[in-house]
């Protein structure tokens, strides 16, 4: 991906949000494991690690708005479409398999990991279909 100004800004935001994710997740895991979290704060502590992930989705949206290179923006939109299509397809198939008792129940947050893997697959598809222009 060309290192445009918008891309650099996006990277900075994602680094900050990733650090916030670690800062929220590690104490939450430790707190729940050792039963240190009071019941009144349990929902808040459990939801806090999700907020930086939501922030990353916001950062991606902001990047699309700020990116001045229309071709690069189109490449990222294609990546997002691949990621969303693959994730939703996988979730649909898994849901039916789960309903009929053929697979175990999976935690919902794995879909987020799958979506980010989908971004990588989208990038590969861009490269394969657009060659050098696919970055």
Partner 1 sequence: MENRLRVLRAERAWSQQDLAGRLEVSRQSVNAIETGKYDPSLPLAFRIAELFDLPIEEIFVSPSRRSSKAI
Using CB under 8 A, which residues numbered 56 to 75 contact partner 1?
68-72, 74
Q: Minimum distance from CB of 135 to partner 1 (Å)?
A: 5
Q: In the complex with partner 1, which residue's Cβ is closer, 25 or 72?
A: 72
Q: Minimum distance from CB of 115 to partner 1 (Å)?
A: 24
8 touching partner 1, by CB under 8 A: no
CA 51, CA 28: separation in Å to the nearest integer? 13
Candidates 80, 44, 78, 43; CA nearest to 61 is 80
CA dihedral 78, 83, 87, 93 (to 10 degrees): 50
Residues within the interface to partner 1 (CB under 8 A): 2, 4, 68-72, 74, 130-135
């Amino acid at each position: 991906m060309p290192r445009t100004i918008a891309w650099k800004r996006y990277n900075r935001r994602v680094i900050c949000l990733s650090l916030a994710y670690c800062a929220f997740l590690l104490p939450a895991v430790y707190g729940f494991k050792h039963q240190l979290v009071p019941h009144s704060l349990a929902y808040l502590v459990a939801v806090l690690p999700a907020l930086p992930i939501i922030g990353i989705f916001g950062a991606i949206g902001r990047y699309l708005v700020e990116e001045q290179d229309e071709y690069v923006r189109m490449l990222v939109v294609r990546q997002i479409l691949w990621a969303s299509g693959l994730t939703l397809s996988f979730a649909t198939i898994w849901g039916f398999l789960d309903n009929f008792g053929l697979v175990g129940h999976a935690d919902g947050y794995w879909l987020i990991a799958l979506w980010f893997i989908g971004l990588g697959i989208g990038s590969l598809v861009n490269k394969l279909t657009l060659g050098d222009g696919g970055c």
